[in-house]
Amino acid sequence: MTISQAAGSVCTVSTLTSEKQETANSVNSQVICLPDTDCAIKSQASLSAFTSYRVGGAAEWYVAPRNLEALQASMKYAKEHEIPVTILGAGSNLLVSDRGLPGLVIATRHLRYSHFDPATGQLTVAAGESIPSLAWQAADLGWEGLEWAVGIPGTVGGAVVMNAGAHNSCTADMLISAQVLSPDGTLETLTPEELGYSYRTSLLQGSNRIVTQATFQLRPGADPTKVIAITKEHKQHRLSTQPYNYPSCGSVFRNPKPYSAGWLIEQTGLKGFQIGGAQVALLHANFIVNRGGAKASDIFSLIRHIQHKVQDQWSIWLEPEVKMLGEFQAAC
């Protein structure tokens, strides 16, 4: 697949020193500047540094817009040249194929701003804002409602799309609205009802619309000391029960109620089971960790192995919570 340069000028990498770090692993990267923006599309950008698993091949094309106008320009470019688009947030709930991804990968991690409105108790934030950082900011202000989110390793955009949650709370509980961008450049504001929320999913999953910002309803006016203490408790609970010493994507499987996926996997005897550099975590069986040198194919094979073993013993097929992008060879 080739991107025409008709709508953009070719830049030299030296003119984009602020973005060098993001494509440090790129090979012979071509850079195309988008008109009327400070945004550039790069070719063959390694994605392993942009996923929490630290695995994955290269994006055929990659762009990291820093504002809404640059995001719209990126989407317009992809549409004009009929290029498929993949959205990448913090990369914390993704497994990217070793073969990389075709088309244009748009990273939203640099779309950042936040506004706490004390008159309404509403927090409006851009899609690239870190969920844990927002939880700490709210706690420092004495705003209740985000304590549960301190251990969610992702961005606002990803949380809205997947209805991220923890400690019996979730994004849908406090979301007022989300602004999304369609491929034709149209901006739309959607309510939680219109997003069709259910457990760890929404109608945005699998769609071609991009979350640009979200507004949450919080509860200002509490004692910051109290909110900070509760936030610290949630953080400590995550640290004591989940493995953070190796790269992972967080929980791999959805919980098939009334069971927990971790309990089923542990009872199947798979704690510590390893394929290549990928291992079922010893601390929490619903985590697969990269013990070092793992490939995406190792992690994928381990996911399939777990699914089949749990199916054989419990007649339950575990549904992945992690989103797998790109081509993977089927595992038995």
pLDDT (0 to 100) of residue 25: 44
The mean of the pLDDT values for the chain is 90
Q: Which residue out of 129, 144, 147, 321 is catalytically annotated?
A: 321
Confidence band of 21 (pLDDT split at 50, 70, 90): very low
pLDDT (0 to 100) of residue 243: 92
Question: What is the spatial distance between Cα 147 and Cα 278, in angstroms, rounded to a whole number?
Answer: 31
Q: State yes or no: pLDDT of 11 exceeds 80.
A: no
Average pLDDT over residues 307-322: 97
Q: State yes or no: pLDDT of 24 exceeds 50.
A: no
Q: Where are the beta strands (DSSP E) in 109-244?
A: 114-117, 122-126, 165-166, 169-170, 175-181, 187-190, 210-217
Average pLDDT over residues 78-91: 93
Confidence band of 13 (pLDDT split at 50, 70, 90): very low
Q: Which residue out of 66, 109, 200, 238 is catalytically annotated?
A: 200
| Conformation bin of residue 140: beta by default, left when phi > 0, alpha when psi is -120 to 50 | alpha
Q: State yes or no: pLDDT of 317 exceeds 70.
A: yes
pLDDT (0 to 100) of residue 329: 80
Confidence band of 206 (pLDDT split at 50, 70, 90): confident
Average pLDDT over residues 296-303: 98
Q: Which residue out of 130, 251, 297, 301 is catalytically annotated?
A: 251
pLDDT (0 to 100) of residue 22: 45
Average pLDDT over residues 43-52: 95
Instruction: Supply the DSSP string of 218-285, one letter for each residue.
Output: -B--S-HHHHHHHHHHHHHHHHHHS--SS---S--B---TTS-HHHHHHHTT-TT-EETTEEE-SS-T
Q: Check if 291 is active-site.
A: no
Q: Name the amino acid, one letter, at 153.
A: P
Cα 42 off chain centre by: 21
Confidence band of 17 (pLDDT split at 50, 70, 90): very low
Q: State yes or no: pLDDT of 19 exceeds 60.
A: no
Average pLDDT over residues 131-153: 96
Q: State yes or no: pLDDT of 10 exceeds 90.
A: no
Question: What is the spatial distance between Cα 173 and Cα 194, in angstroms, rounded to a whole number?
Answer: 14
Q: Check if 200 is active-site.
A: yes
pLDDT (0 to 100) of residue 7: 38
pTM score, two decimals? 0.85
Q: Check if 321 is active-site.
A: yes
**Three-class secondary structure of residue 169 per DSSP:** strand
Q: State yes or no: pLDDT of 167 exceeds 60.
A: yes
Q: Which range is least confidently modeled, 36-40, 59-63, 225-229, 276-280? A: 36-40
pLDDT (0 to 100) of residue 330: 58
